[in-house]
Structure formats: structure tokens, C-alpha cells
Amino acid sequence: MAGPGLLLVLSAPSGAGKTTLAHRFRAREPDARFSVSATTRAPRGAERDGVDYHFVSPARFDELVAAGALAEWAEVHGNRYGTTKATVEEALRAGQVALFDIDVQGGEQIRAHWPSRTVTVFILPPTLAELERRLRGRSTDSGEAIARRLAAARAEIARGLGGYDYVIVNDQLDRALAQLEAVVAHERARLAGRADPEPAAVAAALRRSRFDAAGWDGAGPIG
């Protein structure tokens, strides 16, 4: 169903399951598309150029920045990542849900550029110990990269819980997916000027302002 385009920003500490969730969401929403970012990092596992990322050299990334072609960019874990303005504008024109799998600083910049069209969703792991298990289970990163991602997790969580619109705890994947779908249904209905009571009620319960950070199990130490 085409309608008003929605910029759906998904952020999470690395390993929380955001990519898994985003792909499951996309599989159920033919109208959704991924925003493909440019990055200077090397491809990982089965990642493909132009599908998962546009893999570019540091010099090419410099050119994109100098040309003003990026809506936002950030350095994450020692590599640079950025979203082109053209990607966002095309998604808005097409009236689709554009999924942004980007970090919190990038998500905040997208929202600052397109405030009425952006919804920001922060994905949390059930606990930090489970985050570490998922990172190790994914077995695509070196021990050193995992340690770096875990060290960054607390700061990313603090930022996400500080300013994002919604918080979803990815404990059971099916439940997290249903929650994400309710948020999107609610936000799309809102943009289209329709009332949609059922997703609205689910979405309201997921507002960050309703999230009990003190009661979240992940508040404990890592490991």
C-alpha cells in the first residue's frame, strides 16, 4: 500500500538483532525498502555490494562528503557510514516505508532533516549478557571487534533511551516484529490522517516515555 512515505529509523547496540528484525519486517511488508548506506568498512560474511551497503574507499567517501551528497554520516567502530540524500528523497517520493539501519547519531540527524516523516525506534537486547551471546553466536566479528562493540553498547543504549520515539525489547523475535509492525501501522495511519485504534494502543505502550529503564534487565554488568 503506497501512502505518505515514512522514514523508519531502527537503531540498536550491535548484536541486538536489528538486522534480523529489519529483514523479517521487510519480508512481510512488500512496500518497505532498505536504505542502502555507503561505508568504508570491508564486506562481512555474505554481504553484497549495492544490497547490504555500497562499499566504498575512504577517498570515495571523502568525495561524497565534499559534494554534500550525504544526509548524515558518522564514524562507528573505526569506519565511516553515511546515508545519501538521494536515497531518502526517492523513498519519500515513492510513498514507501524506508528502513534505516543506522546508529543513533545518524538517526537523530535524519529526524532533524525530515521531522514530520521520521519515526525512530530503538531495539534493546533483553540483557547485556544476551547481547554478548548474540555477538559471539553470529561469529562474523573477531574477538577484538566484539569487545569494541560491547564497550560501545552502553553509550549507544544511553543515547537511544535518551531521545528515540519508541523502544522495543527484542527478546522473542516474533513479538518484537509484531510490535514493530504496530508502530509502523500507527505512524502511517497518523501521517495519512486516519485513526487506527488497535495499533495505536500497542504503539502507545512502546513510547520511550513509557519505558522503565530501571526495570530493564540489561541495566546490569556485561558478561
Site residues for ligand ADP per CB under 6 A? 12, 14-20, 134, 137-138, 170, 172-173
Residues 84-103 that bind ligand 5GP (CB under 6 A): 101-103
Grid cell, residue 37, equals 548506506
Q: What is the CA radius of gyration of the chain?
A: 17
Cβ atoms of residues 118 and 110 within 8 Å: yes
Crossing angle of helices 173-192 and 18-28, rounded to 10°: 60
CB nearer to ligand 5GP: pick between 92 and 204: 92
CB nearer to ligand ADP: pick between 5 and 53: 53
What is the smallest separation between the CB atom of 133 and ligand ADP, expressed in angstroms? Answer: 8
CB nearer to ligand 5GP: pick between 138 and 208: 138
Does 106 help bind ligand 5GP (rule: CB under 6 A)? yes
- Burial class from Cβ neighbours inside 10 Å (0-12, 13-18, 19+) for residue 209 reads exposed
Taking residues 20 to 39 in sequence order and writing x for each that binds ligand 5GP by CB under 6 A, - otherwise, the string is -----------------x--
* Closest C-alpha to 199, from 216, 182, 214, 187: 182
Does 41 help bind ligand 5GP (rule: CB under 6 A)? yes
